[in-house]
């Protein structure tokens, strides 16, 4: 056991040498690091590993290893923690890619129940296998969703520009003051770059060809490896379903439905519906209901978007700009806890947070807003500031907390 520990420690020490504390994701300060069991979950490539290593670097105590390492895969996790806790007095463990370890949920539960002095932080990426365990572990584990970067984080990481985050209420009420204060720092070219490909914290030297291939490989992996666990599919159906994201990226959301997508890929409608629902749960697509009245929601009619604008760019370099605007707006407001989003006929989007309802139109800068009443917020692209309490620059939603 000690030999395995020393090998894994050597790997961790080498990783820690490369970790900088100069830039931290905003979520870093919002995590209650005193919680006994912490699960960092959500999308791939959003620095879950980096966040753990930064905390370990900051604390100068604890032990990191990845569960997909062959050394770790061949160790009984419970026994390993027991050894490190009792023999080496280690109390903090950072375990990456936890879903790669066999029967990991049982191990986490046993450790939680057996070691009152042990704290564990573990990560898992957007796998369907992970999603099904969220409720099972909810009593023991504190969950933290690690989203892609917002515009505020992008400016800090790539341009060393520091702008605060704001709540939705602050943006809706004070957007003129916020834009006046920070509009001279924001540049439309920065925002366009962010929209295109910088919502993930890549290294600057990664070129467009690299990240397009990376996205497409990710989708192939999900379809080939993850979906068959949940949906009984033949190989021919899997090959057809790989085209789903391409069709979504190259169609307008209003053209898409479970029925016409099933016709495009020649797969049964029920299978397509099940697959799309699963993809929406692991942050590949967004299914936005068309009806916000509770009685109408049973109709299961949706507008279908890719999860963020970077995904559109990976599958269609000439996506219509209005789709990009709407996709960006959705991806940012979905970060708000307990928000529900709808696409009723009268407006582009309706947001409901508990009993509060707000309506939004997403527009280009030159479109007139004179015919809309005071109950509608107009969100305009390609403007820095707007001297109207109901007209809000789109880029400000990239500063949402």
pTM of the complete model: 0.89
Rounded-to-integer distance, Cα 261 and Cα 152, Å:
36
Residue 370 has a pLDDT of: 63
Q: Across all residues in the chain, what is the average pLDDT? A: 87
How confident is the model over 61-98, as pLDDT tens digits?
899 999 989 999 889 999 999 999 999 999 999 999 88
Chain mean position to CA 231: 23
Residue 1 has pLDDT above 90, yes or no: no
Q: What integer is the mean pLDDT of 329-355?
A: 93
Over the stretch 116-175, which tens digit does the pLDDT of each residue have? 999 999 997 656 666 666 666 767 888 888 999 999 999 999 999 999 999 999 999 999
Q: What's the pLDDT score for residue 247?
A: 92
Nearest to 309 by CA among 161, 150, 177: 150
Closest CA to 210 of 66, 314, 64: 314
DSSP letter string, 317-369: TT--HHHHHHHHHHHHHTTSTTEEEE--SSSSEEEEETTEEEEEEEEETTS--
- CA distance linking residue 191 with residue 214, whole number of Å: 22
CB contact at 8 A, 326 and 254: no
| Dihedral (Cα; 25, 26, 29, 34), 10-degree rounding | -70
**Coil/strand/helix, residue 96:** strand
pLDDT digits (tens, 9 = 90+) for 9-56: 999 999 999 999 999 999 999 999 999 999 998 777 889 999 999 999
| Radius of gyration from C-alpha coordinates of the chain | 23
Tell me: the pLDDT tens digits for 217-265?
A: 877 777 777 677 667 767 677 778 888 889 999 999 988 999 999 999 8
Q: Check residue 215 and give its pLDDT.
A: 77
Which string of b and e fits 45-63 if b means at least 16 CB within 10 Å? bbbbbbbbbbbbbeeeebb
Q: Which of 47-51, 112-116, 291-295, 337-341 has the lowest mean pLDDT?
A: 291-295
Q: What pLDDT, on a 0 to 100 scale, did the predictor assign at position 257?
A: 92
Q: Is the predicted pLDDT of residue 373 greater than 80, yes or no?
A: no
Going from the N-terminus, what domains does the chain have, and what CATH number goes with each? Answer: 2-146 (3.40.50.300), 152-399 (no CATH)
Encoded tokens for 374: 């005071």
Q: What is the pLDDT of residues 308-334, one digit of tens each?
A: 999 998 888 889 999 999 999 999 999
> Do the strands 63-66 and 142-146 form a parallel or antiparallel pair, or are they unpaired?
unpaired
């Amino acid at each position: 056991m000690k030999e395995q520990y020393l090998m894994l420690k050597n790997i961790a020490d080498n990783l820690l040498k490369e970790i900088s504390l100069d830039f931290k994701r905003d979520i870093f300060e919002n995590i209650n690091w005193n919680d006994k069991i912490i699960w960092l979950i959500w999308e791939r490539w959003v620095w879950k590993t980096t966040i753990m290593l930064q905390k370990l670097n900051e604390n100068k105590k604890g032990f990191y290893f990845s569960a997909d390492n062959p050394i770790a895969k061949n160790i009984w996790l419970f026994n390993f923690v027991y050894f490190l806790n009792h023999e080496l007095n280690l109390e903090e463990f950072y375990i990456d890619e936890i879903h790669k370890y066999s029967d990991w949920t049982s191990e986490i539960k046993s450790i939680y129940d057996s070691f009152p002095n042990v704290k564990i932080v573990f990560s898992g990426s957007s796998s369907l296998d992970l999603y099904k365990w969220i409720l099972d572990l909810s009593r023991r584990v504190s969950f933290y969703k690690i989203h892609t970067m917002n515009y505020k984080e992008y400016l800090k990481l790539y341009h060393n520009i520091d702008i605060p985050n704001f709540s939705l209420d602050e943006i809706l009420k004070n957007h003129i003051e916020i834009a006046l204060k920070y509009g001279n720092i924001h540049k439309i070219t920065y925002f366009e770059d962010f929209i295109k490909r910088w919502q993930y914290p890549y290294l600057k030297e990664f070129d467009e060809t690299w990240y397009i291939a990376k996205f497409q490989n990710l989708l192939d992996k999900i379809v080939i490896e993850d979906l068959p666990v949940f949906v009984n599919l033949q190989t021919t159906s899997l090959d057809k379903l790989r085209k789903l994201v391409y069709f979504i990226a190259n169609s307008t959301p209003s053209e898409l439905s479970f029925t016409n997508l099933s016709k495009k890929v020649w797969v049964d409608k029920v299978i397509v519906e099940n697959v799309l629902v699963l993809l929406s749960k692991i942050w590949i697509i967004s299914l936005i209901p068309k009806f916000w009245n509770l009685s109408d929601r049973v109709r299961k009619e949706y507008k279908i978007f890719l999860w963020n604008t970077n995904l559109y760019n990976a599958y269609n370099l000439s996506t219509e700009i209005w789709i990009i605007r709407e996709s960006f707006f959705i991806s940012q407001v979905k970060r708000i806890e307990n928000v529900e989003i709808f696409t009723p006929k009268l407006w582009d989007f309706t947001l409901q947070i508990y009993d509060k309802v707000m309506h939004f139109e997403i527009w280009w800068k030159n479109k007139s807003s004179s015919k809309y009443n005071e109950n509608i917020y107009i969100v305009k692209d390609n403007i820095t500031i707007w001297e109207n309490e109901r007209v809000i620059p789109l880029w400000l939603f990239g500063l949402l907390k």
